[in-house]
Amino acid sequence: MKLLVTGGTGYIGSHTCVALMDQGYSLIILDNFSNSKSSVLENLRKLNDNFIFYNIDVTDKKAVEQVFSKHEIDGVIHFAGYKSVEESVVEPLKYYLNNVVSTMILVKVCKKYNVNKFVFSSSATVYGENKVPFKEEMELLPTTNPYGETKAMSERILMDVAKADPNFSVSILRYFNPVGAHESGLIGENTKGIPNNIMPYISKVAKGELDKLKIYGNDYPTPDGTGVRDYIHVMDLAEGHVAAYKHLSKGVHIYNLGTGKGTSVLELVQAFEKANGMKVPYEIVERRPGDIAVCYADVSKAEKELGWKAKRNLIDMCRDAWRFESSI
């Protein structure tokens, strides 16, 4: 079975590539290194070398077509895209052009080459301020940023394509908060510059590269006042993709990939300190604009239909995140 993985040198993509190769899939990985390093490839090869890599921009239709014409591709997993909420507010066109156009081009080429299996990286951000736990059938509420809109639009496009073409099988995966790294410590989340997301920030504070964690608000309506999220180990998320690919069936199927458990920022800091035996200095600052108080998944659909459930706990997530961070 040969799968095409876009964005396969990125954080979630690289971990999913390992999980897929471990299950015997051979891969064609596309990435343009806009948010990843070529050194990821060397480390991926140490884990499993059953892949071919192309340095290609997925919005370049000609280049994508060349790959499809060279290889017999059974299905596509589409991770490539930009993901900074903050940047998307400042540069909305960059996000719409890359995230929405790449999805349209890939689907168009898939249809031309009769590739009918497609897995798409969406985000819990599409739920907006719905009531927790978020369920797949909820009406999507407007997100507060262009990044979220690119995910909602891409979902819509995939639904329309599947409606028009009964042979098309799509799995839309809505990720909650992926953290942690592969147990080997060879691949992980390698953010450029100062991280926006909490786990890489905590890791850099632990490493001494950043002074202290800024906790964005302790006046939310949550048990300790800090924001609550559904953190999921990136290897559980990766295995969720394998399950989703194996269960692809005609039409569009949407799944939340999370743990179903909410953890506050303070609880996460405590877990990191416990897992790694170190202190993480922090201060409470103003709320971050656009943040919601609580976000966690109802994960019963993925469990029932995909037979998949997250297995790793918060301590595993913190330990593996630190193992990777301390190795780079």
Residue 128 vs 225, nearer CB to ligand NAD: 128
Q: Where are the alpha helices (DSSP H) in 208-282?
A: 234-246, 265-276
Q: Quick one: which of 18, 21, 29, 35 contacts ligand NAD (CB under 6 A)? A: 35
Separation CA 214–CA 84 (nearest Å): 18
Q: Which of 67, 72, 20 is nearest to 44 (CA)?
A: 20
Residue type, 145: N
What is the contact mask toward ligand UFG in residues 188 to 217, using x (rule: CB under 6 A)? --------xxx--x-----------xxxx-
Q: Which of 228, 147, 232, 230 is nearest to 189 (CA)?
A: 232
From 25, 147, 220, 255, active-site residue: 147
Buried b (16+ CB within 10 A) or exposed e, 229-240: bbbbbbbbbbbb
Q: Quick one: which of 4, 51, 77, 81 contacts ligand NAD (CB under 6 A)? A: 81
- The interface with ligand NAD within residues 101-120 (CB under 6 A) comprises 102
Residue 291 contacts ligand UFG per CB under 6 A: yes
Nearest approach, Cβ of residue 7 and ligand UFG (Å)? 14
- The interface with ligand NAD within residues 136-175 (CB under 6 A) comprises 175
CB atoms within 10 A of CB 60: 14
Q: Quick one: which of 105, 119, 237, 295 contacts ligand UFG (CB under 6 A)? A: 295
Q: What are phi and psi of 20, to 5 degrees?
A: -70, -45
What residues pair up with 27 in beta bridges, in sequence order? 3, 51
**282 counts as catalytic:** no
Per DSSP, 131 falls in state: P
Q: Quick one: which of 88, 123, 226, 256 contacts ligand NAD (CB under 6 A)? A: 123
Catalytic residue list? 147
Interface residue list for ligand NAD (CB under 6 A): 6-7, 9-13, 30-36, 57-59, 79-81, 83, 98, 102, 121, 123, 175, 177-178
